[in-house]
């Protein structure tokens, strides 16, 4: 899947490139927008609940119909941990508190250039129901982590499972 920018995100005109790392707008006079092709920030959260972990059956590609941790793109001017809480609420109906960051990595830079912020959250309440781009909410047994659609989600579960509760960077808000 190629996510290469072809048009200016500021004015919509075409982009030109004189290197593989930098593209600039060729459009409207005064539009000096440059596409640096930076990684796209995402946030996913592992939420232990009822002896398992909170997952969703994805309703969109990539991996439509497969299980994953709740998460998605961090919005403009949003802190990563706030994006993580928002995505969990939108996709599952769960209200959570972010406890710590346990994963931060660009897992597949040649395929999809994104930075995954992986958090552990604590379930506070809310009615579990599929929302946003989720087809279903599933409480997955921890031993079934191979069923998760992305290797980054599997790594997050392994890190959480194989380390003590103090592993990772605590989030103090």
> Which phi and psi angles does 49 have, rounded to 5°?
-160, 135
Same domain, 27 and 83: no
Counted domains in the chain: 2
| Amino acid 21: pLDDT | 60
- For the chain, counts of helices (H) and of strands (E): 2, 12
Do 74 and 18 share a structural domain? Answer: no
Domain at 155, CATH number: 3.90.79.10
Paired strand residues for 44: 71, 118
Point out the catalytic residue in the list 136, 146, 147, 155.
136
Q: Return the higher-pLDDT residue of 53 and 29.
A: 53
The pair of structure tokens assigned to 133 is: 């781009």
pLDDT of residue 2: 44
Is residue 98 a contact partner of residue 121, using CB atoms and an 8 Å limit? yes
Is 104 in the active site?
no
pLDDT value of residue 36: 67
pLDDT at 173: 60
* Chain segment 10-33, per-residue pLDDT in tens: 777 777 676 666 676 666 666 777
For residues 27 and 73, membership in a common domain is answered with: no
Q: What is the span of the domain harbouring residue 47? A: 40-164
Q: Distance (Å, rounded) from C-alpha 87 to C-alpha 106?
A: 19
Q: Are 76 and 98 members of one domain?
A: yes
Q: Which secondary-structure segment (H or E) carries 88?
A: helix 80-92
Over range 86-96, report the average pLDDT: 98
Question: Which stretches of the chain are DSSP H helices?
Answer: 80-92, 151-162
- 142 & 125 share domain: yes
Q: What's the chain's average pLDDT?
A: 86
Residue 25 and residue 74 share a domain: no
Q: Give tens-digit pLDDT for 110-151.
A: 677 789 999 999 999 999 999 989 999 999 998 888 889 999
Residue 171 lies in a domain: no
Q: With b meaning 16 or more CB within 10 Å and e meaning fewer, what string describes 119-131?
A: bbbebeeeeeebe
């Amino acid at each position: 899947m190629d996510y290469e920018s072809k048009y200016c995100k500021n004015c919509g005109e075409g982009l030109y490139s004189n290197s593989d790392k930098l593209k600039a707008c060729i459009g409207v006079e005064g539009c000096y927008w440059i596409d640096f092709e930076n990684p796209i920030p995402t946030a996913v959260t592992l939420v232990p609940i009822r002896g398992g972990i909170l997952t969703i059956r994805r309703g969109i590609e990539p991996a439509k119909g497969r299980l994953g941790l709740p998460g998605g793109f961090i919005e403009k001017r949003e802190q990563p941990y706030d994006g993580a809480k928002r995505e969990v609420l939108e996709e599952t109906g769960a209200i959570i508190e972010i406890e710590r960051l346990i994963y931060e990595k660009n897992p597949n830079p040649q395929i999809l250039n994104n930075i995954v912020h992986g958090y552990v959250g604590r379930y506070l309440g809310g009615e579990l129901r599929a929302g946003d781009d989720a087809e279903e909410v599933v409480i997955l047994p921890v031993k079934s982590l191979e069923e998760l659609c992305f290797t980054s989600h599997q790594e997050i579960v392994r890190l959480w499972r194989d380390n003590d509760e103090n592993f990772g960077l605590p989030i103090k808000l």
